[in-house]
Amino acid sequence: MRAQREALATLTTNARLEALLAAAPALAMVVRADGRLELPDRLADWLGLSSSPRYLADLAGGKVGLTADDAAALASDVAAAQKAGRTFKRTVRAQGSSRTLMIQGVRAPRDLQAPGGVVLWVFDATESQAEIGRLSEEGAGARAAFDALTGLIEAAPLPMWYRGADLRLAMVNSAYVEAVEGADAEDVVRRGVELVEGSGVGGPLASAVLARDTDMPQMQAMPATIRGARRMLRVYDVPLPTGGVAGFAVDIEELEQARSGIKRFGDAQRAMLDRLSAGVVQFAADRTLIFCNQPFRRLFAMRSEWLSDRPEFDRVLERMREANRLPEVRDFPGWKAERRDWFVATSGAIEENWHLPGGVHLRVVAQPLPDGGLLLIFEDRTEQVQLASARDTLLRVRTATFDNLYEALGVFAADGRLQIWNNKFRALWGFDEEFLSTHPRVDVLAEAAAAKLANPARAQLIADLVRAATVERQQRGGRVGFADGRHFEFAAVPLPDGNGLFTMLDISDSRQIERALRDRNEALEAADRVKTAFVANMSYELRTPLTSISGFAEMLSEGYAGKLTKAADSYVDAIMESVERLGLLVDEVLDLTQNDGKTPALEMLEVDLEQAARAAADVIAPIARRKKLDFAVEVLPSIGSTKGDAKRLRQVIEHLLRHAVHGTPEGGRILLHADGTAAAARIIVSDDGTGMSKDAVKRAFDRFAQPGVTRGGERALGLGLPLAKQFVEAHDGTIVLVSEPGQGTFVTVELPRR
């Protein structure tokens, strides 16, 4: 019973093992020590044999089974396993079958009851071998690509590196080593030398960590020191599927400098455009407004708030139309579409003239930009158009005026050719229009004009004057007589444009008048000399009877003719006063006639001005007392002295005091004040008399003013003031008279120290 159970268990186990072997991916073949084979039929089919072979040598069956080389190699492996117990593996191909077989041989275990035998496990490796081949090809391609990529990275001119999952440097290229001044790549990786300094927030490791954690490439600009120079780098960190991070750095120092320079240039350009008088506006490639200057805003009445929204080109034109700043057109959409084509124009700058309502003229320049944008320049030429119109009108007026002037005019160019002439010029010389239209040179014209002159040789004056005006740029003139008795004044004037203006003025009448005036002047001068001599002689003749009258009056006053009555004494005093006044007048007349407007002869000595002032005051004091005037004298020591004629200086003060006495009514006041500085002495005579009118002040120092004539209580003008002025100026001094009617008179004399 027990034996049955064991036999049943054994059968069950054998059946399970056979099923397991049948489902196994490998088939077993036993090679005994004598070379006999034990194998299943399925394995014979794998080997491409129609029946199971009995011996190892039968595996090579010509065109089926194993090839002779594979069979011999397998036999050698089996023999080695039998002798040394060494395991082996071999891959063979079966002829007559597309299978690739992998054979693994081991010494047969003792339980197999095959002493000295070898168990061969045969695996069908057809699919595995194909996969291995494919993977080998892919591996070879990947290795080639890796080698090429490694060579490219090594040859790259920019630093490149690779970080492992722990973000430590694992590989760097030669550019990286050169940038950090390392010995070699291994040295740089071993020491972990970073290209960019710093490890804090924003540092190189922070960017790598962010790339690894977010699985997104990162880029940031960082400064670094490369070969001793500070450079700006753009660092890229790219996460890899392996968990590492690859990176590379691009030197953007020149780019940043260029970008900064372009920005500064753009800012400077916009600042310059903002200062232009013309309106400037710029549109981007998408036709939105990106810049406009202040004149543009003013010209088209646009608010900054509206422009800040970057309106499109069409909207800007519509806004211009709303502000009545566009030309009047019938088809505005079509007109706007034509201006929209400016963005794609290939013919360069486009110019237009816009005539706006209200008489405004705009010159519009449209310049397409290389980036697809557009630059518009609006120049307000209203003033220029108005000036051009005014200039045309002025030219017509000038031409009409030029042709109808009384003077003969001709304009000569710098080369001496006649350019413009008027009708008077042609008629005066009797030139034909055909001759003048050839624009003759000045020497040819002078030769043709010589016959008209009283002295033909004087025609050379025309050429000389024109040459002086055009070449020497000097203004010159002269006078020429014509053969018909007329006289002309020639003049040549240089013009701003390099030409010369030649003018001829008929002075025949003025020469006749000048000759008549000259003859009359000579006659008047002769009469004046006779008059002066007569006045001088009469003055001398008057002195003799005056002396006699004065002497007899003094004798009567002294009682030589007996005692006089009180009335007779008053008559004698009146006679003596009149004689004194008449004597002064004679002396003044002699002074004026002897000098005749010339500087009088002076006896220049050191003069004590204080003494001269007091002497003059002593002479005038009795006259002031008789008129019951308040006569005050203020002579300060600072008046000092000066070089001059004592007699004439005393006469100056006397004349001023007499003028004050005569112009001050009874009970008035007169002041003589004298002082001085180191530079000059000053004498002031003032009164509170009737004063003088503006006309009288103007004529006060005129020696030809009518003396003794008064109007409306105004003081009389005599010879005293003209003589005082003449003597003061002879001493290089100045005299000033200030007066108003009813406010008195104020006279100031200043004498420089000599």
**Do 608 and 747 share a domain, yes or no?**
yes
* Residue 454 pLDDT > 60: yes
Within a 10 A sphere around the Cβ of 233, how many other Cβ atoms?
A: 23
**Do 635 and 731 share a domain, yes or no?**
yes
Name every residue whose Cβ is closer than 8 Å to that of residue 119 and which is 6 or more positions away in sequence.
Answer: 28, 29, 30, 31, 105, 106, 107, 108, 109, 112
What is the pLDDT confidence band of residue 62, given thresholds at 50, 70 and 90? low
Residue 564 DSSP code: P
User: What is the secondary structure of 594-606 as a DSSP string?
Assistant: HHTTSPPP---EE
Residue 217 DSSP code: -
What tens digit of pLDDT does each residue of 238-294 get? 898 888 888 888 888 777 777 777 777 767 777 777 777 788 888 998 999 988 888
> Which residue among 251, 273, 306 closes a domain?
251
User: What is the secondary structure of 304-346 as a DSSP string?
Assistant: HHHHTT--BHHHHHHHHHHTT-S---S-HHHHHHHHHGGGG--
CA 652/CA 600 separation, integer angstroms: 13
Residue 708 lies in a domain: yes
Dihedral, CA of residue 43, residue 49, residue 53 and residue 59, to nearest 10? -90
Give the residue, 558 or 659, on which the prediction is more confident.
Answer: 659
505, 547, 579, 582 from 571: Cα distances, Å = 71, 18, 12, 16
Contact between 300 and 320 (Cβ < 8 Å) = yes
**Do 744 and 618 share a domain, yes or no?**
yes
**Residue 714 confidence (pLDDT):** 43
What tens digit of pLDDT does each residue of 68-80 get? 788 788 888 888 8
217, 223, 569 from 561: Cα distances, Å = 149, 135, 12
Give me the number of domains the chain comprises: 6
Query: Number of C-alpha atoms within 13 angstroms, CB side, residue 602?
Result: 22
Name every residue whose Cβ is closer than 8 Å to that of residue 567 and which is 6 or more positions away in sequence.
Answer: none
Instruction: Map residue 585 onto helix, strand or coil.
Output: helix
Give the residue, 215 or 59, on which the prediction is more confident.
Answer: 215
What domain range includes position 695?
A: 600-752
* Residue 544 pLDDT > 70: no
- Average pLDDT of span 414-424: 86
What is the pLDDT confidence band of residue 707, given thresholds at 50, 70 and 90? very low
> Which residue among 535, 563, 596 closes a domain?
596
Q: Is the C-alpha dihedral spanning 450, 454, 457, 460 positive or negative?
A: negative
For 282, phi then psi, to 5°, come to -125, 135
**Do 409 and 491 share a domain, yes or no?**
yes
Contact between 733 and 751 (Cβ < 8 Å) = yes
* Residue 675 pLDDT > 90: yes
CA distance from start to end of the chain: 179
Residue 5 lies in a domain: no
Lookup: tokens for 691: 């004063």
CA 418/CA 441 separation, integer angstroms: 6
CA–CA–CA angle 723, 726, 727 (5° rounding): 90
* Residue 683 pLDDT > 90: yes
CA 677/CA 397 separation, integer angstroms: 64
CA–CA–CA angle 337, 342, 345 (5° rounding): 125
For 314, phi then psi, to 5°, come to -65, -40
Residue 256 lies in a domain: no
Give the residue, 403 or 469, on which the prediction is more confident.
Answer: 469
**Do 736 and 622 share a domain, yes or no?**
yes
CA 697/CA 237 separation, integer angstroms: 104
Residue 223 lies in a domain: yes
Q: List helix spans (H) across 559-645.
A: 566-595, 609-626
Contact between 197 and 168 (Cβ < 8 Å) = no
Contact between 499 and 493 (Cβ < 8 Å) = no
**CATH number of the CATH domain containing 556:** 1.10.287
**Residue 552 confidence (pLDDT):** 66
What is the pLDDT confidence band of residue 712, given thresholds at 50, 70 and 90? very low
**Do 229 and 327 share a domain, yes or no?**
no
Residue 701 DSSP code: T
Give the residue, 743 or 508, on which the prediction is more confident.
Answer: 743
**Do 353 and 444 share a domain, yes or no?**
no
> Which residue among 539, 571, 596 closes a domain?
596
Residue 142 lies in a domain: no
Residue 78 lies in a domain: yes
Beta bridge partners of 162: 171, 246
Side chain identity, residue 558 = E
**CATH number of the CATH domain containing 501:** 3.30.450.20
**Do 175 and 225 share a domain, yes or no?**
yes
What tens digit of pLDDT does each residue of 547-606 get? 767 666 677 667 666 777 777 767 766 676 666 666 666 665 556 555 555 556 678 889
Q: Indicate the range of 197-201, 256-260, 643-647, 706-710 predicted with least confidence.
A: 706-710
**Residue 710 confidence (pLDDT):** 42
Share above pLDDT 90 across residues of the chain, in percent, rounded to a whole number: 8
Query: Number of C-alpha atoms within 13 angstroms, CB side, residue 287?
Result: 13
Give the chain's mean pLDDT: 80
Contact between 723 and 645 (Cβ < 8 Å) = no
**Residue 9 confidence (pLDDT):** 75
**Do 496 and 532 share a domain, yes or no?**
no
**Do 470 and 417 share a domain, yes or no?**
yes
Residue 387 lies in a domain: no
**Residue 370 confidence (pLDDT):** 86
CA–CA–CA angle 443, 445, 450 (5° rounding): 95
Give the residue, 723 or 239, on which the prediction is more confident.
Answer: 239
**Do 624 and 725 share a domain, yes or no?**
yes
Residue 537 lies in a domain: yes
Whole-number CA gyration radius for the chain: 67
Query: What's the predicted TM-score (pTM) here?
Result: 0.35
**Residue 734 confidence (pLDDT):** 92
**Do 617 and 741 share a domain, yes or no?**
yes
What tens digit of pLDDT does each residue of 348-390 get? 788 888 888 877 888 899 989 888 889 889 988 888 887 877 7
**Residue 265 confidence (pLDDT):** 72
Buried residues in 704-729 as b, exposed as e (16+ CB within 10 A): ebeeeeeeeebbebbbbbbbbbbbbe
Beta bridge partners of 504: 408, 490
